[in-house]
Amino acid sequence: MNHIRQLEDQSVYILREAYKNFDNLAMLWSMGKDSTVLLWLARKAFFGHVPFPLLHVDTSYKIPEMIEYRDRLAREWRLNLIVGQNKKALAEGMNHTKGRVECCTALKTQGLKQLLEEKGYTGVILGVRSDEDSTRAKERYFSPRDKNNEWDFRDQPPELWDQYKLSFPPGTHIRIHPLLDWTEINIWEYIKLENIPFLDNLYLDQGTGKRYRSLGCAPCTTPIDSTSKNVDEVIIELRNTKVAERAGRAQDEGRGMEQLRKDGYM
Amino acid sequence: MTVTPAIGQSHNTPQDNSIRERMNIVIVGHVDHGKSTLLGRLYADTGTLPTGKIEKIQAICKQQGKEFEYAFLFDAFLEEQQQGITIDTARTFFSWGGRQYIIIDAPGHKEFLKNMVSGAARAEAALLVIDALEGVRDQSKRHGLLLSMLGVKQVTVVVNKMDLVNYREDTFHAIEKEYREFLTQLNVIPQYVIPASAKQGINIIKSSPETPWYTGPSVLDSLAHFHLESKRAEQTLRLPIQDVYKFDARRILVGRITAGKLKIGDRLVFSPSNKTANIETIEAFNIDPPPTQAEAGQSVGITLDEQIFVERGEIATHDNARPLVSTRIRANLFWLGGRPLETRRPYVLRLATREVPCEVATIHRIVDATNLDDRQTQTTVKRNEVADITLRTKSPIAFDLYAQFETTGRFVLVDEYDVAGGGIITELVQDDQEDFRTEARERDSAWVKGDVGAEDRAQHYGHRAAVVLLTGPDVTAKGFLARKLETVLVAEGRHAYLLAPENLQRGLDADLVDTKPDEIIRRFGEVVRLLTDTGSLVISTTNALKEPMKHIVQTVQTLVNPIPVITIHMAKDLQGPQPDTDLIFAGPENFDDCTHQIIDLLKSRGILTEPPRGRADFQYSI
């Protein structure tokens, strides 16, 4: 498991750089496997402490077990949890039937933007990975967002060795991506190695021949056919599958992801 | 659940499910020489693409009325597909033969060189692609040069598009000869030079009959011949301190070990402060039993047996193999900034975790990447150029030569908000402080300590030791302000002491018959050093030292290092250039106000805390 420890060492280094250099820092936590591994890595980096708030952008359409799990870990691990929600859009009746990209933009991108503006965060840590999506494959570990929260992928800063972009003009912020080099399999290998609590009743087959591979909002996330009942079986399944991880995430279809991410989506 | 199909007639090990190691590889080369196509083909022919990926891209191509290309598999952005070029580096994942590769597809267009550099800086090995029809071009060479500067020593050259030259052996050998000669000048020996056609799938995953004269490995097979860097742990220790935590009772120093090993009980020296302490514990979360040792690559946390003030940017080593320390370094630098690099412009140098203001003292030459010739001396380095320069840092930094230690031998320069250039250190340039620095290091190393440490004294007195130096021409009432400051500080209960350099003349310096300015300053500095070791705030003026102010300040700084030296300049007026000091007073009249400004500055630097009988709260014990 040497390669997993290498990934861990690198992510811990990135988290510590973020903590040292950003006065107003927060981490996004969606309760999915990736951001939960990220949260665990923060506990590794800071010796059991999580010295910044965790943000959850609640679309109100999340699977109920996710919220229970969120509140339980927040209590047990003494997390500073901040939940944001685009209440205006919800009040106006936004949902996926108005268009998946539109819904994601309103409830997630805008919800996040409101939260960032309100709290004035200058650094936001996210659990995105390169192998999830081809636009995420082009991300930097420290990736600037302009005043409108937008990502200028045509002009990304150079990232040399372990020297990241740590300074930025007022009004902009930096997205920090410690998990860029992790694959989906690495995430599960690490969950097993460290025995990290995860949403097992969603990520593992409960006897129905189905499990979630990627978690999002209930209406736009579908489980896959799988009989994997434990983490070992998930790892074996993933080593042999040729189906993309986010195949069950409806908003990714066509060019959805490029547009979403350019506008400030995770 | 689907099972990966076996690769027919492949000479390769079939895809191995258990991953033992990981490696980063970058694909570089001139624009349009077929890097993305090579990458796409590698995935397609090894059956490692997700189901439907090719079909999805084919559908998009059909919709846009253009021919399918393997390159489109990883050129994610709409704009990249429309223009048929790679704009930014993509990381892709590929598992083969027990290794998990991250293959980084770097753009070949000159305009996107900073993206190529970002990709290559992460890599341990490179595939450099050259078009057989076009031959060796500008970016083939520039990328070769940058690979060697970025520390990518393992290179395999792929001569692509061999189908366009009818797989001619002589064409291949001519390119091979030319490029090998170029790489030799950079001290790079390619592992293999492979004739291939990514478009036709020739020599990509297996040897093909089209090139019967070629007996070497396919591109896929050549990957297994790249070896992992493992020697770093065998070097002597380098641990750049990243931060100091005090979340609970533990005071933990964290950082990533960049070379060597450490274990509990080791005596560490921190450079450039020269402080020392022993490792008491190695801290870790959710590891049982806790570790007793660690090595290069690991992000660690350690506690020390002594409460010493160490901060981010220092490099911890063992005593017998310290890094170099200077304010001047010679380096090879590549510049990526939108604005040219200029001498006498302020930049920030970042080396490992250290950050320090700097300027370029000299641009010795510009290296022309295409023929490695020198261009005549210039005062600027333009975007995408490589130059041989000397840098001057505002305060001394600890570093290594790149040839000996990679991570502590390289740096970046930050221009305003942006990382704008990177460099590797080729030489230490001695500054005029070298002798004083050696003296301070040897003196500190042999210093006999009592049981009361600097931290204890600081807790007791309500302030750290520090030096306040007043500089400026005669008749600006420096002495008056110095006396006033001492009086106010002592009235507050601080241990402040005014040391006039004149007071050494008839005593300590009585044996100096001929005037030796350097020796006078040296003795003055050593006396200041002794007083600061008692925990005092030493206030002094500088006129009696009869040397340029800058030299005096630097020497005192070197000799009292790492005690802070606060400089206050007194000028008659603000005409003309002013020295770079912490505070400047021009013809002051209100000395009470000046005194309070100095006290506020001492507070903002964390030197003064609440007056002694209050509760001490120290910035540096975090």
Cα angle B192, B193, B196; round to 5? 120
pLDDT band, very low/low/confident/very high, at B107 (cuts 50, 70, 90): confident
> For residue A187, is it within any domain?
no
Structure tokens at A115: 């939260």
User: Average pLDDT in the A26-41 region?
Assistant: 95
* A31 shares its domain with A97: yes
Q: What is the DSSP string of B242-300?
A: EEEE-SSS--EEEEE--BSEEETT-EEEEETTTEEEEEEEEE-SS-SSPPSEEETT-EE
Please give the mean pLDDT across all residues of chain A: 87
* A123 shares its domain with A226: no
Residue-wise burial string across B510-549, b where 16 or more C-beta atoms lie within 10 A, e elsewhere: eeeeeeeeeebbbbbbbbbbebbbebbbbbbbbbebeeeb
Query: How many structural domains is chain A composed of?
Result: 2
> For residue A135, is it within any domain?
yes
Domains in chain B: ranges and CATH: 21-223 (3.40.50.300), 232-318 (2.40.30.10), 324-431 (2.40.30.10), 436-621 (3.40.50.300)
Chain A nearest C-alpha distance from B116 (Å): 9
Judge whether A93 is closer than 8 Å to chain B, CB to CB: no
pLDDT digits (tens, 9 = 90+) for A163-180: 998 888 888 889 999 999
pLDDT band, very low/low/confident/very high, at A214 (cuts 50, 70, 90): confident
Q: Where are the alpha helices (DSSP H) in A46-169?
A: 64-76, 87-91, 100-104, 111-119
> For residue A208, is it within any domain?
yes
| Count of Cβ atoms closer than 10 Å to residue B212 Cβ | 10
* A12 shares its domain with A67: yes
User: Average pLDDT in the A228-246 region?
Assistant: 86
Residue B599: burial class (beta carbons within 10 Å; 0-12, 13-18, 19+): middle
- Taking the C-alpha atoms of residue B498 and residue B539, their distance in angstroms, rounded to an integer, is 5
pLDDT band, very low/low/confident/very high, at B68 (cuts 50, 70, 90): confident
Judge whether A180 is closer than 8 Å to chain B, CB to CB: yes
- Taking the C-alpha atoms of residue B11 and residue A12, their distance in angstroms, rounded to an integer, is 39
pLDDT band, very low/low/confident/very high, at B621 (cuts 50, 70, 90): very low
pLDDT digits (tens, 9 = 90+) for B15-65: 445 677 888 899 988 888 888 889 888 888 888 877 777 787 787 778 777
Break chain A down into helix, strand, coil percent, rounded to 5: 45, 10, 40
Q: Where are the alpha helices (DSSP H) in A108-179?
A: 111-119
B248 CB contacts (<8 Å, ≥6 apart)?
A47, A49
* DSSP state, residue B305: S
CATH code for the domain in which residue A90 is found: 3.40.50.620
> For residue A128, is it within any domain?
yes
* A165 shares its domain with A224: no
pLDDT for the residue numbered B79: 66
pLDDT for the residue numbered B536: 95
* A175 shares its domain with A209: no
Judge whether B244 is closer than 8 Å to chain A, CB to CB: no
The answer to whether B76 contacts A135, with C-beta atoms less than 8 Å apart, is: yes
* A102 shares its domain with A219: no
pLDDT for the residue numbered B2: 34
> For residue A75, is it within any domain?
yes
pLDDT for the residue numbered A254: 61
End-to-end CA distance of chain A: 29
User: Average pLDDT in the A216-240 region?
Assistant: 88
The pairing of strands B315-318 and B354-367 is unpaired
Cα B122 to chain centroid, rounded: 14
* A224 shares its domain with A122: no
User: Average pLDDT in the B230-245 region?
Assistant: 91
Chain B nearest C-alpha distance from A35 (Å): 18
Residues of B in contact with A183 (CB under 8 A): 93, 100
pLDDT digits (tens, 9 = 90+) for A7-20: 999 999 999 999 99
Instruction: Find the domain containing A210 and state its range.
Output: 192-251
The answer to whether A131 and B93 are in contact (CB under 8 A) is yes
| Count of Cβ atoms closer than 10 Å to residue B3 Cβ | 9
Q: Among A29-43, B192-206, B497-511, B578-592, whose mean pLDDT is lowest?
A: B578-592
- Tokens 């967002």 label which residue? A145
As for the ipTM of the complex, it is: 0.90
The answer on pLDDT for A246 being more than 80 is no
Cα B391 to chain centroid, rounded: 14
> For residue A168, is it within any domain?
yes
- Taking only residues 19 to 48 of chain A, the set having a beta carbon closer than 8 angstroms to any beta carbon of chain B reads 19-20, 43-48
Structure tokens at A71: 């509140």
The answer on pLDDT for B498 being more than 90 is yes
* A161 shares its domain with A198: no
Residues of B in contact with A44 (CB under 8 A): 284-286
Q: Across the A/B interface, how many CB contacts are shorter than 8 Å?
A: 173
* A240 shares its domain with A146: no
The answer to whether B285 contacts A48, with C-beta atoms less than 8 Å apart, is: yes
The answer on pLDDT for B14 being more than 50 is no
Residue in A5, A153, A157 nearest the CB of B77: A153
- Taking the C-alpha atoms of residue A171 and residue A177, their distance in angstroms, rounded to an integer, is 20
pLDDT band, very low/low/confident/very high, at A248 (cuts 50, 70, 90): low
* A6 shares its domain with A134: yes
pLDDT digits (tens, 9 = 90+) for B278-326: 999 999 999 989 999 999 999 999 999 988 889 999 999 999 999 999 9
User: Average pLDDT in the B144-172 region?
Assistant: 91
Chain A nearest C-alpha distance from B287 (Å): 9
> For residue A95, is it within any domain?
yes
Residue in B74, B301, B414 nearest the CB of A134: B74
* A49 shares its domain with A87: yes
Residue in B20, B90, B336 nearest the CB of A158: B336
pLDDT for the residue numbered B77: 65
The answer to whether A153 contacts B88, with C-beta atoms less than 8 Å apart, is: yes
* A72 shares its domain with A111: yes
The answer to whether A47 contacts B121, with C-beta atoms less than 8 Å apart, is: no
pLDDT digits (tens, 9 = 90+) for A129-158: 988 777 787 888 999 888 777 787 777 888
Judge whether A170 is closer than 8 Å to chain B, CB to CB: no
Q: Among A53-62, A245-254, B119-128, B151-160, whose mean pLDDT is lowest?
A: A245-254
Q: What is the DSSP string of B60-115?
A: HHHHHT----GGGGT--SHHHHHHTS--S-EEEEEEETTEEEEEEE---SGGGHHH
pLDDT for the residue numbered B325: 93
Structure tokens at B84: 């048929």
Structure tokens at B428: 């230490």
pTM here is 0.81
The answer to whether B92 contacts A158, with C-beta atoms less than 8 Å apart, is: no
Chain B nearest C-alpha distance from A22 (Å): 13
* More confidently predicted of A135 and B463: B463
pLDDT band, very low/low/confident/very high, at A216 (cuts 50, 70, 90): confident
Structure tokens at B556: 């005192």
- Taking the C-alpha atoms of residue A158 and residue B117, their distance in angstroms, rounded to an integer, is 7
pLDDT band, very low/low/confident/very high, at B3 (cuts 50, 70, 90): very low
The answer to whether B99 and B69 are in contact (CB under 8 A) is no
